[in-house]
Structure 1
Amino acid sequence: MSLQSPTRNPLKRMQCKIFGHTYSVLRHYQTDQKEYECTHCKKQFTEDEYGQLAPLTPKLRRINEVMEKFYIFKSARRQSA
Structure 2
Amino acid sequence: MKLTKVYCDLFGHNYKLTKKVTHHVKEYTCSCCKKQLTTSSTGKLTELTEKRQEINLALERIYNNRTVRLQQKLISSSIY
Structure-2-length-normalised TM-score: 0.76
Bigger relative contact order, structure 1 or 2, given CA contacts below 8 A and separation 6+?
1
The CA RMSD measured in Å over matched residues stands at: 1.5
Match of 2:78 in 1: none
Match of 2:46 in 1: 54
Secondary structure at the aligned position of 1:12 is classed as helix
Name the larger-Rg structure: 2
Match of 2:35 in 1: 43
Structure 2 unmatched runs, 5+:
74-80
- Tell me which protein shows more helix as a share of its residues: 2
Structure-1-length-normalised TM-score: 0.75
Match of 1:21 among 13, 16, 19: 13
Structure 1 unmatched runs, 5+:
1-8
Identity of aligned residues (%): 38
- Say how many residue pairs are matched: 72
